[in-house]
Amino acid sequence: MKQPVRTADTAHYPPLSPVSVGLRCACPRCGEGRLYDGVLTPAKRCMACGLDYAFIDSGDGPAVFVILILGFVIAGLALFVETAFEPPLWLHALLWIPLIIVLSLWALRVTKAMMIALQFQTKAQEGRLH
């Protein structure tokens, strides 16, 4: 049986798990190349399979998920620590501000990569009236 020619345009890529791709911040098509060129800026294209990332439009979706989920968790933890240990305010600031910054950036990267993978798999785009 003749194998199909594998080029960037004709290669067949099995569907990847958006969670796996998102956690690795990898290309939504091949799962090999890096998605980001910086902290949250998508690269121009995948360095492994050549997928053009121009289709990416995650909008405000990742930020909403991160604000709602992380806000709930961190606020709950802060309330628990306050009621259980009653630490001074400077300790609250020392605990929560770095934790919020680090977790938010990590969660934004992962959530954005997951939503980009879902957008790629479902071919989602802005609605249009014909």
Q: CB nearer to Zn ion: give 24 or 74.
A: 24
Q: How far is the CB of 46 from Zn ion (least distance, A)?
A: 3
Q: How far is the CB of 104 from Zn ion (least distance, A)?
A: 27
Q: CB nearer to Zn ion: give 27 or 107.
A: 27
Q: Which residue do the tokens 């960037």 mark? A: 8
Contact 98, 92 (CB under 8 A): no
Burial state string for 96-109 with b = 16 or more CB within 10 A and e = fewer than 16: eeeeeeeebeebbb
- Distance (Å, whole) CA 42 – CA 59: 13
Point out which residues bind Zn ion (CB under 5 A): 27, 29-30, 33, 46, 48-49, 51
Q: How far is the CB of 13 from Zn ion (least distance, A)?
A: 8
Q: CB nearer to Zn ion: give 11 or 75.
A: 11
